[in-house]
Structures are given as C-alpha cells and as structure tokens.
Structure 1
Amino acid sequence: MVLSLYRFNHPEQKRCIIFISEVARWWAVRFVSKTKHDSTMRKYNLHCLAIIIMLLVPGFGQSNTQGSFFEKTGLSLHRGRVVPHDKAINHLAKGAFLMKHLSLSGQVKGDHEWHTLYNYPELGLNFLYTELGYPEVLGKAFAFFPHIAFDLFSAPDFSMGHNQGIGIAYLTLPFHETTNPENAAIGSAVNIVYNMTLEARWVFTPNWTVYSGLSLTHFSNGRIKTPNKGLNIPAVKLGLGWNFSGNPAFRSAPEKNSYAMRPELITLISGGPSSTYPPGSSVSRRVSVQSTFHYPLNPKTGAGLGYDFFYSERKQSVGQDQTRSIWYNLHGLHIAWQQSFSKLSFIFHKGIYFHDKSNFNESLFYHRVGFRLNPFGGVVFHLALKTHFFQAENLEWGMGYKF
C-alpha cells in the first residue's frame, strides 16, 4: 500500500518491488493460517503493530515528490547469537547463526526542513529472516520494518553511520505449556522487532557499495503475552548495496518556518493489556493519563517534565477458574526527552513513583520509550512501551492534544 504511492520507472526497481511484495504476501498467508489459536491476543498484537507502521511510514510520504523515492537495494548477512540477559533464558543461547537481510531504500531530497536538519538521512524498508540458533525451541523469525539511517561521517567514497528500525516480526515457535515449554523468552508468535546498526560504507563504483558493521536485533511482544523475556541478538554485519541510478541525490530547497521554537504542553490518555506470570495467567488492563511540558533545546530536540496517573488492574483468584479485578492508583513524575522529525517524534521518559501505597510494581522507577504522531492541528497519537528498566509492563497506545 505504501509502495503504491511511488512511481517505479526502472525495470530493476519493479523487479525488487515484485519480490518484496511476494515475500509480504507469503508472510501474510502464513500468519493468517495460524490465527485460529488464541485469536483475540493475535488480533490485538496485529492492531498494535499496525499502529507502529502507521506512525513510522508517514516519513516516506514526506520525502520526495519527483519520481520514485527508492533508489537502492541491499543484501546483508548478520552473524550473531542470542545473548541472555536473564538467567531464565540462559539455556536458549546455543551458538552463532546467520540472519539474512534484504533492504530497499532512498535518500530524502531536502523538500522538508527536517531533511536538512538531519543532513539528508536515508529511509528504507527491510525484510529479515533468520533461524535463532535453537531451531527446535526458538524456531525461525521473519521480520518487516522501516528504517532511518544517519551519517556520522561522510566522504566521496567512504562514510560511517547508524540505522534505526522498528516493525513487525513473526516467530514460528513461541512458548506453549505442553508443546514448547522451554521457550521462556517469547510468549506470542507476533512480536515487535527493533534493529540498530552501526556501519561503515565503501563506495567502489557509482552503483556498488560494500557495508560492514555491528548490529543489534531485539524481539519482544511488550508483555501482551507471557513469557516475555525477549531475545537480544548482537551480530557482525557484511553486505552489498546496489544504487539503481548511480547519480547523486537531488536536493531541493527546504521548507521554511516549519519549526516554531516554542514550548508545548501535551496531555493524552492511553492504555493496553499486560500479561502476568506464570504464563497462562489472566490478562489485566492498564490505563494512564499523562501530561508533559516540553521546552525545545534546538529544532531537533526538546526536554521537559511531566506527571503520570496510572490506573492498573490486578486479577485475584477467588475460586476455580474465577477471578475478580482489583484496581490500583499510582502517581508518578517523569523527565522527558523528545527527538522530532516534523510530525513524528521519538520520546523517552524516565519516571519515579511518588504515590504507590501497595508497591504495585515493586519498583521505584519506570521508563517509557515510543513514538508520537501529530498529523494535523494539535491532535497527537501515541504508541510507547512502559518498562521497569529491562522488564516490560505494557504497550501504551492512545491519543491526546498538544497545546
């Protein structure tokens, strides 16, 4: 659907698009064929992950209005291994394995001011496939995600940069209490994937580039279903890229006055489910109201302070196969950091509970990392993961208003 927004005039571009479309179609058919089991949670997973794409993909639409946006394709191999971060998953680290990574990308052209602020970054779409080193327990992973890439250093024939991407992943062997009890890391088939890469690029001809670097890939479901220890996979990357045109990127004059350096107050309501341990326990609900004051430090970033009200449910057993809901009120204060890309912003909050009489979360501090989209006026859509350090509590999705 996103790809249909662009014109693909070069025959090789069309072939790449057809290939990626077939991969996506195969993935969709495979997913749909497995949705009969635990259909309610799968539907929720898919809705949340669709919101991630909704939040991230608008960046492609802000990129180029002259011809096709996509100019490059790349194929990379990542050699990595599962690195346990919790003793409960030590047994899942069995050895190194290869991840296959296909990408399609293009450089922004300067037709929006944030393009020049970030020195013309690259946007792309990615497909990643891998076995996870323990095929009889962890199975395989298929992932699709958009990315943004920034240069740290650039010369005519050599550059260094970092890529950040987040999207949807399907893992073939999640935890099951009878058929796969050893998988203590992943409790659902549909997950969020996060990929970060630090790489060097050597341009050998106008069309061919070699990539080498380090990557980190993370799989997690945001505690929509337990277990959710997650998988962290550091890897060494080697790849080859092909530029369709072989020409330098076209850069037009940027928009003017699109960044008003003024403070803002954002207030929103969000919510989402949270699964508890042991696996198979009832899913409880989380609701939060948050208000954050941001002060711009520069056109890219802002910092601020905020307040959180959390309304959290806990299920209590009252008999065989029966539970009752108990609700807890929690209050917190957070410091905020925001990175802006026109209408899309990345946020990070670090908070402290100042009112938690029941010690509901058994933690003094909480964290929030995610995205906000301001499509028009003061309306804001919100998607974030709330955690207590490395332990996810729930995915938050909601909306609010920016004053």
Structure 2
Amino acid sequence: MRFVKKLLAFKSPFNLLKKFVFIFTSFNLVANALGQEVEKLSLESSYGFIIPHSQALKPLSQSNPLGFSLHYQKLNQSQKSWDACNCFHYLGLQFSYHDFGNPPVLGHALSLTGTFEPILWKNERWTFSLLSGLGFSYLSKVYDEDNNPDNIFFSAPVSFLLFLSPKWEYIISDKIALNLSFAYNHISNGGQSQPNKGMNYPMLGLGLVHFMKNYPFPFYEKKMIPKSSNFYLETGLSTREGEEGRIPNLSLVMAFKKPISGINGIGGGLEINKDYSLEVENKRWEALMPAPFISHHFLFGKFDFSQRMAFYTNKPNNYHDFRFYQRYVLNYFLFQNFSIGIGLKAHGHVAEHLDLRLGWSF
C-alpha cells in the first residue's frame, strides 16, 4: 500500500507514465475478472390471441391482444458468468404494454418483468435463445360484481406475469439487429383472490435491437455434466385465501433427476401437498394430497427449470375435477447443494398459485 502511495505521489514525467500504466493495468485486471459486457436495448411489437381454457371464457376470448415492449439487457462475458449457466446469457428488465382488444371489459396491462435469456446457439449472424420473464402487471380492468362481472380472467389489479419465448435474432451490424419471437404469456394473481381464471395469450413479436456495447464472444469449454442420477428434497411455501384469512399451503418433494444431454434431464418423484385453506368433510387428513410425478429439466449451469406432470392419489372431493396437475419450477443453486426458486401450480391452462421453493440435492 505504501509503495502505491509513493508511486502515485511522485510527479516526474517518467513516473506519471508509470502511474498511468499502473492504473490502466489495475482496471484492466478488474475488467478481465468481471468480463466485458454486451448491452442492448430492444423495441418490440407483438400480436396474438387469447386461449379459452374453459367454456365460460369462450365469449371473452374473441379479441386479439396487441403489445409493445421496451427491453434493456446485459450479458457478462466473464468465465464466472459463463459457469453460472454453462452458457452465455442475458439478464434484463422489460417494460411492456398489452391491450387485450376489449377495452370496456378486459382493458390493458402495464407490466414490469425481470428476464433471463440463455443463448442456445449462435453463429456470426444468427442467434437462437430462450427468453423467460417473471414480474408484475397492473391491470386496468378487473372483475367487479356490479360494474364488470364478465371479466373472470382477473380479480386483482396487481397480478403476476410469466412468459416463455423462443427467439431468433439476426445481426445487421455491430449496432443493429432484428428479432423474431413467439411468446407464451400468462397473467394471474397466483390464487390470492377469486375469480382467478388467469389469461393465457400467445403472441408473435417483431423487434428492433440497438447494441449500446458489443464485443466478440470469447470461447469457454463447457463443463461436463454428471451422468449419474441426482436425488433431492424440496419444499414449497405459500399461503392461500381461506375462511379465516391467509392460510398456509405446504408441500414436500422427494425426487431424482438424471441428465441426458448438455441441457436436458428427466426425472420423477413424489410430492405431498397439504393445503390448509381447503374445506374438508370430516378430518384435515382429507386435504393431504400425495402425487407421484414425472419431470423434464432444462439444465443451464446453476439454473434448473423443471416441468412436472403429477397425478393425485388423494384429494378432497370438492377440489377440482382434474386428477392431474402441472408444476413449473425455476431453481437457482446458491451453493453446490442448496437451491432457491419459484414454483407455479396449474390444472391444465388454469394457474392455481405461486410458491417459494427451497431444495437440497444429494
């Protein structure tokens, strides 16, 4: 430290040059450790349709949503960032406006989402990626028993937006690119209030991309993924509306997964769900719902996005007509064995609730 102070204090031209070289080298070492960053800003328009996932929604699903979005993204090219995903990936923030084509009943949505976009394939001109987002939506029109009884899609002005979007990007120059995307969007309040049918609306999008910073991509070797099966425990924590306010909804998962390729895995297990908000006829044990499941996993380094199909072996008589349900879980491994994530439970196209997931792998 004294050596640095002396070096910076000495004023001869030669030492001023050494001072500059020292500072430049220091910043260069830090930049190399952090990695150069690609930054881009995208403006996209989109057009789609609403999926009527129940008979009651068919009259409301005849309109075509129109949307616009502004998306800021950053990609860190460091080895550390690569290792987190075993791929290059963008992290971003997206602001979007979706008009549902029925202003008096459905209105529009203003949304702010955090995004994650791993690059699955790339050459000099083309890039193929998978964009996902999770955030909040403000809905201008929601269900009201007196003033808007037809809108059974939404009942809470502030709801959740989730989307998944394969995307092609074509590089025109170092600064400009075009992209084509297909997004599957879902808005619901996660079961926090009723009615909560939720809206599913696919959209085709076309966008213009401006690169604020752009650098050639370095090359990193992909880490070998273990081929052996991996066992894990997982718990889900949330609350749902009940007769006495917010009631706990808990689940415990015992399962395994097995990688079968660089980004794919398969697995299965047992989920035991105890929802204290459900009505029972005699005993609380009626609300204990064991469900074996099979799963597919997208594996991106520390990220694991799983899609699970489960079958109820027991459930309360008044709880859904479905015997099957889906669970979508995005986990991030904070440490080698410990993960934290978000899960969405759905029956067909109807989302039921979001929960916090904590996991431990063996």
User: Fold match, TM over 0.5?
Assistant: yes
Q: Give the direction of change, closer, same or farther, for the CA distance of 1:177–1:317 in structure 2 (3 Å limit).
A: farther
Aligned ranges for residues 189-268 of structure 1 at < 5 Å? 189-249=157-217, 251=218, 253=220, 260-268=226-234
Instruction: Determine helix, strand or coil for the equivalent of 1:88.
Output: helix
User: What letter corresponds to residue 383 of structure 1 in structure 2?
Assistant: I
1:98 and 2:57 are equivalent in the alignment: no
> Paired residue for 1:181?
149
The 8 Å contact of residues 115 and 132 in structure 2, kept in 1 or not, is answered as yes
- Which residue number in structure 2 is paired with residue 45 of structure 1? none
Q: Unpaired segments of 5 or more residues in structure 2?
A: 1-31
Equivalent position of 1:347 in the other structure: 306
Q: Which amino acid aligns with 2:50?
A: V
Match of 1:271 in 2: 237
- Selected match of 1:297 from 260, 272, 275: 260
| 2:116 corresponds to which of 139, 145, 148 | 148
DSSP-derived class of the 2:344 partner: strand
Residue 364 of structure 1: how far off its partner (Å): 2.1
Amino acid at match of 2:251: S
Structural mapping, 1:324-335, within 5 Å: 328-335=287-294
Q: Contact between 1:315 and 1:326, CA under 8 Å: does it hold in 2?
A: no
For 1:396, the equivalent position in structure 2 comes to 355
Distance 1:330 1:159 in 2: 44
Deviation at residue 369 of structure 1 after TM alignment: 0.6
User: Following superposition of structure 1 onto structure 2, how do residues 280-295 of structure 1 map, counting pairs within 5 Å?
Assistant: 285-295=248-258
Equivalent AA in structure 1 for residue 151 of structure 2: N
What's the CA shift for 1:371? Answer: 1.5
CA change 1:241–1:307 in 2 (3 A) is same
Q: Which amino acid aligns with 2:154?
A: I
Secondary structure in 2 matching 1:244: strand
Check the 8 A contact 1:378/1:401 in 2, yes or no: yes
Displacement of 1:215: 2.9
Rg larger for: 2
Contact 1:153–1:160 (8 Å) recurs in 2 = yes
Contact 2:286 2:315 survives alignment (8 Å): no
Structure 1 residues 75-84 or 158-167, which shifts more? 158-167
Q: 1:94 to 1:71 in 2, by over 3 A?
A: same
User: 1:336, 1:347 within 8 Å by CA — same for their partners in 2?
Assistant: yes
Asked if the contact 1:80/1:235 (under 8 Å) is kept, the reply is: yes
Match of 1:384 in 2: 343
**Percent identical across equivalent pairs?**
21
CA contact (8 A) 1:314 1:325 kept: no
Distance 1:375 1:151 in 2: 22
Which among 42, 62, 65 is matched to residue 34 of structure 2? 65
Asked whether the 8 Å contact 2:186–2:200 carries over to 1, the reply is: yes
Measure how far apart 1:208 and its partner are. 1.0
Q: Distance in 2 between matches of 1:314 and 1:116?
A: 38
Instruction: Indicate the SS of the match to 2:313.
Output: strand
Which residue matches 2:29?
none
Q: Given residue 264 of structure 1, which amino acid in structure 2 is its aligned partner?
A: N
Equivalent-residue separation in structure 2 for 1:152 and 1:300 (angstroms): 9
In the alignment, the residues of structure 1 paired with residue 186 and residue 351 of structure 2 have an alpha-carbon distance, to the nearest angstrom, of 13
The answer as to whether partners of 2:143 and 2:149 remain within 8 angstroms in 1 is yes
Superposed, 1:28-177 pairs within 5 Å as 65-66=34-35, 69-93=37-61, 95-109=63-77, 111-112=79-80, 114=83, 117-118=86-87, 120-150=88-118, 154-177=122-145
| Residues 339 and 110 of structure 1: CA distance in aligned 2, closer, same or farther (over 3 Å) | farther
Q: Deviations over 1:119-173 (max 9, x none)?
A: x343332111122212222222111223333556644334444422222222122
The answer (yes or no) to whether the contact 2:38–2:74 under 8 Å persists in 1 is yes
Coordinate RMSD, CA, aligned? 3.4
Residue 372 of structure 1 corresponds to which residue in structure 2? 331
Instruction: For residue 57 of structure 2, give the secondary structure of its aligned residue in structure 1.
Output: helix
Q: Aligned to 1:74, what secondary structure does the other structure show?
A: strand
Counterparts of 2:260 and 2:280 in 1: how far apart (Å)?
A: 50
Instruction: Give the 3-state SS of the residue equivalent to 2:34 in structure 1.
Output: coil
- The code of the aligned residue for 1:353 comes to Y
Distance 1:378-1:198 versus aligned 2 partners, 3 A rule: closer
